[in-house]
Amino acid sequence: MSSTAIPSLLDAHGRRIDYVRLSVTDRCDLRCQYCLPKGFDGYAEPAEWLSFEEIGRLVAAFAALGVRRFRLTGGEPLMRARLVSLVSQLSVIPGVDDLSLSTNGTRLAAQAAALRQAGLSRLNVSLDTLDKQCMEQVTGRDSLESVMAGLQAAREAGFALIKLNMVLMRSVNAHEVERMAAFCFEQGFVLRVIETMPMGDTGRQSGYMSVEEILPSLVQRFDLKPSAVTLGGGPARYWQTADGRGQIGFITPISQHFCATCNRVRLSVDGQLHLCLGQEDRVDLRQPLRDGASQEALMTLIREAMQRKPERHVFREVPEQLVRFMSQTGG
């Protein structure tokens, strides 16, 4: 098939949807303060989880509709048993050009090489701090060492473009942005600084601050210039060091939202297709799957679902709107 013949999945606002984030579990071994409350145990039951076969069928349906990029997420995706075999299965589906993973890194050391071999192309690792105590405060557990070991293993496994996602929090880790940037430039990772979103009480109470507040000092310290790179086609706006070797991205869902160019939808572990991170609009794909829907019927459901994708989130206007936590949707 020539590239011009790739079908396009369009929503009602003329946006092309070419990226799906797939949650493979809503469970997590960390309790990041902006994400899941301490003691949270309101997880989906295993019977509600999509099986690997069901996930494969949905990925094939999206791919047949022109979606080329898929990201496995959660919860913590490395907590789903036999994830490597899911990666092997999905990476060979025709049309799946880019299969990536978001992880907190705690279990990466043991799995990085196998994931790479199974066909995973890219990795994002969440890391909010380089300080052991701060890490414990943010994630609820002494987890820094395991994440560092995971990063090392990922590099050794041959993952080239490893992005580190840092959620920016006033009075928690904002003072560490320069240190994180220096670490990433030195180690060859791409740092992305992300504004906290008001998802659940955790998200609302975690010290949101605008990226604009930390940008000038970073620009000055590292002599940064705006960069034209997109690095994966997401919403980050990149800046680069003067020699062009270091990139740093800023993701600003609150201070400067990017809904007009939104290109993604999210599938939660229980088969709900979430059409916007900041709205409740969703379509159930699990029941049709379990009722025996054909691939054509699934594709029709997905096409129709796109017509219900909201124009934008209202995180700023109605911050109290969302009661679900990020890990329940698939972050």
Contact positions vs ligand SAM (CB under 6 A): 28, 32, 34-35, 73-74, 76, 102-104, 126, 165, 167, 194, 196-197, 199, 203, 326-327, 331
Closest CA relative to residue 157, chosen from 102, 111, 96: 111
Structure tokens belonging to residue 309: 């994708």
267 touches 72 (CB < 8 A): no
In terms of DSSP H, where are the helices of the chain?
Answer: 52-64, 83-91, 108-118, 132-139, 144-156, 177-187, 200-204, 215-222, 286-290, 295-306, 326-329
Q: Which is nearer to ligand SAM, 163 or 282 (CB)?
A: 163
Q: Report the nearest approach of ligand SAM to the CB of residue 66 (Å).
A: 25
Q: Report the nearest approach of ligand SAM to the CB of residue 54 (Å).
A: 20
Q: Which is nearer to ligand SAM, 102 or 121 (CB)?
A: 102
Q: Which is nearer to ligand SAM, 199 or 273 (CB)?
A: 199
Task: Please give the angle made by the CA atoms of 131, 135 and 140, to the nearest 5 degrees.
Answer: 160
73 touches 102 (CB < 8 A): yes
Q: Report the nearest approach of ligand SAM to the CB of residue 324 (Å).
A: 11
**Which residues lie across from 226 on neighbouring strands?**
239
**Unique residue bearing structure tokens 């303060």:** 33
Q: Which is nearer to ligand SAM, 73 or 129 (CB)?
A: 73
Q: Report the nearest approach of ligand SAM to the CB of residue 215 (Å).
A: 18
Q: Report the nearest approach of ligand SAM to the CB of residue 73 (Å).
A: 4
Closest CA relative to residue 126, chosen from 146, 110, 111: 146
Would you mind telling me the total number of residues written for the chain in this entry? 331
| Euclidean distance between CA atoms 189 and 212, whole angstroms | 22
Q: Report the nearest approach of ligand SAM to the CB of residue 8 (Å).
A: 27
Q: Which is nearer to ligand SAM, 169 or 301 (CB)?
A: 169
Q: Which is nearer to ligand SAM, 64 or 268 (CB)?
A: 268
